[in-house]
Amino acid sequence: MNRRCLRVVAALPLLLSQLWAAPSYADPATAEALFVEGRSLLEAGRYAEACAKLAESLAQDPASGTAINLALCFEKQDKLASAWAHYRVAASLARRDAKAEREAAAEAKVRELEPRLPRLTITTLQRVPELEVTWGELKLGGAALGSAIPIDAGEHDLIVKAPGYHPLTQLVVVKDGESRRVLLPVLVPLAASPGPTPLARTVASPVRETARSTAMPTSALVLGGTGLALFAVGTYFGVSALSSYGTAGDLCPARHGCTDEALAARAKAGQRAWVANIALGAGLLASGGAVFLWLSNRHEPKASASISVSQQGARLAFGTRF
């Protein structure tokens, strides 16, 4: 077995451990009844039902004959990764029971299917502790990232989770014999509190006047300057986002089967577009607050205003005291 195959086998500990571990309620008689029923369904072409019966029979009593029939059932459904894994289990069980002919037959099927196996390599630019990626009944930890994982052809919803982050789902379509690479989107941290985040800045400017004045108060100047600064930041990140989107479009016009470089450019563009939207919105609110304070200074003796920017958006609060 070559090194690549060894890496692939190492990526399936969950499936293989489930197949080997017999439950506490294991019963050979039940396993035999399920096997006979599963074989009948398999011969009738009712593959989904047959696979369920044979899988339960294998769990009740791990036997090489049951594993081979379950592998064949998956192969009939064009689930090559599942078939390949169960042929390997069948070969191991046959070797345990000294059934050389059955072992050879199972290993021949393993060699036959291996060149046709779809494989999925999951990567991320973000290092997140306790990251988990699941699809179906398979769960992968962060250590599996970057490894070529055998996967059945078709559509798969990858569910990405990590403590302290919003979960996300990404649809992946894999074809027979395809080696697919997927770059996970950047996870968004959960808001620790309603208050401002490290990216946010709060400006509170109380205005205390003893007499009406036509001059612009200091607080209005502060908010106005803040608004201009936020507009500048938003413009910079907006232009940068457009540039990254352009780069991603040049690298991957079709928007599927993209390289890691194209996916990274698209992810970077999304992040910068988010910052641009927040900064421009906050700049607009700050400018509005400055106008309000200037008008309040002309007509009322006391006024106050504050602006808060967080991942949920920007908020401006202002009022007057008589």
Look at residue 281 in the predicted model and tell me its pLDDT. 72
Q: Residues 257-302: pLDDT tens digits?
A: 677 776 776 677 677 776 767 767 776 776 776 666 666 665 444 4
Checking if the pLDDT of 73 tops 90, the result is yes
Q: pTM value? A: 0.51
Neighbouring residues of 194: CB distance < 8 A, sequence distance ≥ 6? 310, 312
Work out the mean pLDDT of the chain and round it to a whole number: 74
Look at residue 96 in the predicted model and tell me its pLDDT. 93
Neighbouring residues of 110: CB distance < 8 A, sequence distance ≥ 6? 84, 87, 88, 91
Look at residue 63 in the predicted model and tell me its pLDDT. 93
**CA gap 85, 118 in Å, rounded:** 13
Q: Residues 134-158: pLDDT tens digits?
A: 887 778 887 888 888 898 988 888 8
Q: Which domains are seen in the chain, by residue range?
A: 3-115 (1.25.40.10), 119-183 (2.60.40.1120), 203-321 (no CATH)
The answer to whether 299 and 212 have CB atoms below 8 angstroms apart is: yes
Q: Residues 198-240: pLDDT tens digits?
A: 443 333 333 343 334 445 566 666 666 776 776 676 677 767 7
**CA gap 192, 205 in Å, rounded:** 26
User: Which of the pair, 190 or 142, is modelled with greater confidence?
Assistant: 190
pLDDT average, residue stretch 33-61: 94
